[in-house]
Structures are given as structure tokens and as C-alpha cells.
Amino acid sequence: MLDTLYIENIAVIEKTTIDFTGGFNVLTGETGAGKSIVIDSINAILGNRTSKELIRTGAKKASVCAQFSNIPKEVREQLEKMGCINEDDGDSLVISREISSSGKNVCRVNCVPVPVSALKELGARLVDIHGQHESYELFSGERHRAYIDDYANTSLLLGEYREIFHSLKDLKHRLDKVESDDNERERRIDILKYRIKEIERADIFEGELEDLKEERLALRNSGKITSAVATAYSLLDGDEDMGALSSIHSAAHSLEEIAPLFKQAGELSQRLDSAYYEIDDCMRTLSSLLSDRDDGEQRLDEVEQRLAVIERIMKKYGPEYSDVLKSLESDKEELEALESYEENMEVMLDEYNELAQQALELAGEISQMRRVAAEEFVEAVQTQLSELDMPNVHLVVNIERTKLTENGIDKIELLISANPGEEPKPVSKIASGGELSRIMLSIKNVLSDLYGASTMIFDEVDAGISGSAAQRVGLKLKSVSSGRQVICVTHQAQIAALADSHYLIKKDVKGDKTFTSVFRLNFEQRKYELARIIGGINITDITLKHAEEMLNLKTEN
């Protein structure tokens, strides 16, 4: 149940708190006072789309916060999965949403930050909103199917069917692709063979490109490198003068002679010996480098040619080495499939026929569930319509068999006959606005008895009705509220008079700004509000007496 709704800087509402009660709650007020803003705020809490245009002029952000109590078991389970359960009171829930002028949303569930999608998932189990334009969904055949599926509870079976249907659809696409023109298949085989041969002939190994680029850089600077290597070798070897190597050797020998007389001299001699052998090894390497420089130009040509091959392959199948390998593997798999065309076709056809049979069996089972449920649904809705002063309206669920679709093998359409003797016709061609509202209310009540949320909100469900019809709608809403919380935005005094709690939404202009406030009315205040709804601007003793009588009748009932 929705206990409290706090709204800040939403449109003309600067700040307001609404404490709802159980049972039947109504909100009234003059046109433009801000009733729709309250509904928009609740929609925001439920994860529905919002806009920064909702933010009050001059404010940087807007926020809405709602507190729920006695939350359903499935909501508690979802909160536990999300890690948002209230440890102190597992039956309560606080949801908040902040909208900034930059368009950014900050959502929290029991103070834990969550994505907007989490609000939507929770909201579907907490509140069911019937908007003032929702009756027009009766014009949609897709919605008609959804009503029957909800009533028949086909969701699990339909989910299983859809998995098979999508697999069947994917397999059909693959079959169509494989069954394309033979010439095209042969052309594709030739292309794949060429690609595979080109990659395998290149015989690239990982890291080869980088190694060759490094070698090319050295070969292109061969002269500079050779000169530096030769200079280093000459300095170490020496020409006519004693070189570094022989000088180190002589120094080690000199120190070795005095080692018996001076301990440190022996240690230094050993260190110089080690240096001698290390430098001797360096000289051998330098000599080898000098001899390798003789074929530098030939090697540079070889490196350039190899790099051209590798870069072409990488550009065509890369850009990374791993991409080349993936391309090769993919081409080989496709080639194998195309070359094994007849064998693969037979396997896929067997699989397709098996899936098609499974889909038909499940679709038939779902169709039977729908047909049985449709009869019960019609009877339940007819009962509701009779209670809403529409006893002569006859509802028919027309079910026609179709080919396999995502939703099975049924085309479902609600038809009505508004008067005795008339043939049932599509809702869109028969029903008036007031009739649509009452038909939609009947359907909502039937479905809510099965799986409905603990709070139901009706936004101007009384559109297009008056008199006894409005009275009947009010009594129906009152009846529904005996099992759950009902919140209703209304313009009808007959409906407002039946409420357990009555809230007035009032707009005031102070200076150059508009302010909307919401407050709960006591008996006297309700009397004046009902008189305003009945008589308009001029409230007379007669309208006041009428309003008081309506409230007293409600109390007596």
C-alpha cells in the first residue's frame, strides 16, 4: 500500500506531502490545479519515463519519494535479490527518484542506489495505474490477446513457446541462406578457398611484424651502425698501440705478481680477469656483427618484401594477429558447411521439422487455454458491466487460427454488441468514450482479482459519464477498495462522495509564481468541495445540502 508521497519541485508543486490511507482515496480539484502532476510523480516512482521539463521553473532539480507498507511477498523477494531489503522492517519500502536539469536521474530503493529499470520492475508489482487515455488500448488487438493471456495465466507456457519459435525462425533464416542459388554458393566457396590459401601461404606468426620492423630500422641505418661497431672494436683491440683488452690483461698480471704481498691486489686481479673475459666476448660479438653487415642490402630487400606480405594480410583480415586467426577459422567453418551442403541441409531440415512440431503442440495447448479462459473472462466482465449500468452490452472474444507467430496461432479480438439484437462488432466502431471507460474498468477489475497490485490508481476513469453511470462506477471503485487500496482522480461528485479519504488539489498564484498544494479534507471541507463540483463557482444552500446528503448516504451505506 502507498502510505506517503512526497513531491518537490515537480511542475507547479513546490513541496507537498500526501498521506494516503487504505480503502478508497479520491483526489479532486479544478481543471489545471495539478491532479495530473500527482499521477506523473507516481509514474516517476514506478520507473516510467520522465523529462527534465517536469522540473519547476527556477529549480535545478526535482524529487519524488514514496513509502509503501505491507509489500507483497514477490516484492520482498525481489528486494532481497537486489540487496535492498529493509532489515528493520521487511514489509516496508521507500523509493526515491531525483531528476536534475541536466537530465540525469538518481534512483534509490531503501537508500540503495539502483538503475531506473529496477524501479520499473518493482513498480509493476506495487501499483497498477489506469490512465485517462488507457481505455483507448481497447482499440489494440494486441492488448486483447494480452487480456486473455493474463486471465488464462499462459506466461510460463508462452515463454517456453517463444524460445522454440525464435529458434525455429533463426533456423528458417539459415535454411533460406543455405538454399540460395547454387551459382552463388559455388562463388562463395571459391572466395573462401582463396582467402584461406592466402592466409595460410603467408604463414605469419605472432610478433613477426614487430620483429621485422625493428630489423628494418637497423638495416636502414646500417652505415651508422657499422661505423659505431668498428670504432668500438678498434678501441678494444687496438692497432699499433695497445688496446683496452691487452691493457686490462697486463694490469691483471701486474697485480697478480704482488698478490702474496698485498691481499687486495689479488682480489683486484681477479676482477680484472673477469672484465678481460667479458670484454673478449664483446669483441667476438662485435666482429660477428661486422661480418654480418656484408649482406645488409640483400637482407633489407627480403625484410621489405616480407613486411609487404604481412601488412597486406593484416590490413585485409586484421587489424590484429588474433583477428587474422579468427577470420581463418571462420572461413574454414563456412567452407566446410557449404561443401557439406546436402548433409547439413538434411540435419537442419530434421531439426526444423522437430522444432515446428514442438511449436505447434505448444501453440495448440496455449490456444486451448485461451479458449477456455475466454468463456470465463466474458462471463466475469459481463457481471462487472451489469454492475456498471451496462446490462445490455454483450461481450464476445473472437479467436481465429493463424500461422505460427511469436504469440502462438491465435488472432484475438474483443467484440461488443451495445444493444440487444445487434451483431457484435469491434470495440473501436461501437463504444463511446464513457462506455470505453466502464469496459476498461470492468476488465481491470477482473484481472486485478487474479494478479493485481495492492494499490490501484484510476486517473479520471469517469471521463464521458455522469448521473447513474457515475454512481455505479463509484460504487464499483468502492467495492474494489475493500480488498486493496484504490486512489482515484475524479471530477464526479457521486464518486468523490463515496471515498474513505478525500484530498483537494488546489492551485494559488502568489506574486508571479504558481503554487499547488494537496491536503486531506474533513467532513465540512468535503461538503464544500462536493458543492463546488456540483454547482460550479456559485455554491448555494441547495448544493451544500445536496452534498451533505451524499456524504451522509455514503456513511449510512
Which of 333, 356, 379 corresponds to the end of one domain? 356
Whether residues 21 and 122 share a domain: the answer is yes
Is-contact 394 386, C-beta < 8 A? Answer: no
CA distance 350 to 345: 8
- What own/partner pairs with CB < 8 Å and gap ≥ 24 does 528-534 have? 529/28, 529/496, 529/502, 529/504, 530/493, 530/496, 530/497, 533/28, 533/491, 533/492, 533/493, 533/496, 534/493
What is residue 500's predicted lDDT score, i.e. its pLDDT? 93
What is residue 229's predicted lDDT score, i.e. its pLDDT? 74
CA distance 8 to 556: 38
Whether residues 111 and 205 share a domain: the answer is no
Whether residues 124 and 248 share a domain: the answer is no
Q: 3-state class of 499 per DSSP? A: coil
Whether residues 73 and 209 share a domain: the answer is no
Whether residues 280 and 205 share a domain: the answer is yes
Would 432 be classed as within a structural domain?
no
Whether residues 213 and 350 share a domain: the answer is yes
What is residue 293's predicted lDDT score, i.e. its pLDDT? 60
CA distance 150 to 444: 11
Which of 322, 356, 390 corresponds to the end of one domain? 356
Q: Does the reported pTM lie above 0.85?
A: no
Is-contact 517 506, C-beta < 8 A? Answer: yes
CB-CB neighbours of 549 under 10 Å:
13
Would 543 be classed as within a structural domain?
no
Would 294 be classed as within a structural domain?
yes
Q: Is the bond leading into 319 cis (omega within 30 degrees of zero)?
A: yes
Would 393 be classed as within a structural domain?
no
What is residue 108's predicted lDDT score, i.e. its pLDDT? 93
CA distance 293 to 295: 6
Whether residues 303 and 225 share a domain: the answer is yes
* φ, ψ dihedrals at 519, nearest 5°: -145, 155
Number of domains in the chain: 2
* φ, ψ dihedrals at 157, nearest 5°: -65, -40
What is residue 298's predicted lDDT score, i.e. its pLDDT? 81
Whether residues 4 and 121 share a domain: the answer is yes
Would 95 be classed as within a structural domain?
yes
Whether residues 85 and 228 share a domain: the answer is no
CB-CB neighbours of 92 under 10 Å:
14
Would 379 be classed as within a structural domain?
no
What is residue 114's predicted lDDT score, i.e. its pLDDT? 92
> What letter does residue 22 receive in the DSSP assignment?
S
Whether residues 208 and 278 share a domain: the answer is yes
Would 428 be classed as within a structural domain?
no
Is-contact 487 46, C-beta < 8 A? Answer: no
Whether residues 163 and 126 share a domain: the answer is no
Q: 3-state class of 26 per DSSP? A: strand
What is residue 227's predicted lDDT score, i.e. its pLDDT? 81
Whether residues 185 and 107 share a domain: the answer is no
* φ, ψ dihedrals at 114, nearest 5°: -140, 160
C-alpha cell at 207: 610478433
CA distance 535 to 546: 10
Q: What is the pLDDT along the chain (557 residues), one digit of tens a residue?
A: 999 999 999 988 888 999 999 999 999 988 777 788 898 899 999 988 888 888 888 889 999 999 999 888 888 888 888 888 887 777 889 999 999 988 788 999 998 999 998 998 888 888 888 865 666 667 777 889 989 999 999 999 999 999 999 999 998 887 877 666 667 778 888 999 999 999 999 888 888 888 888 888 877 877 787 787 788 778 788 765 567 878 888 888 888 888 788 888 888 888 888 888 888 888 888 887 777 665 667 888 888 888 898 889 888 888 888 888 999 999 998 888 778 777 777 888 889 999 999 999 999 999 999 999 999 999 999 988 888 878 888 888 999 999 999 999 999 998 888 777 788 888 777 666 667 778 888 888 888 777 667 898 888 777 777 777 888 888 888 888 887 899 999 988 999 999 999 999 988 888 777 788 898 999 999 999 999 988 877 888 888 999 889 888 866 55
What is residue 386's predicted lDDT score, i.e. its pLDDT? 85
What is residue 241's predicted lDDT score, i.e. its pLDDT? 58
Which of 318, 341, 356 corresponds to the end of one domain? 356
Provide the residue range defining the domain that includes 190: 157-356
Here the CATH number for the domain that contains residue 114 is: 3.40.50.300
* Alpha-carbon separation of residue 395 from 148, 380, 431, 468 (angstroms): 13, 10, 12, 22
CB-CB neighbours of 362 under 10 Å:
20
| Three-state secondary structure string covering 175-186 | HHHHCCCHHHHH
Would 557 be classed as within a structural domain?
no
Give the residue among 60, 146, 120, 64 at the shortest CA–CA distance from 97: 64
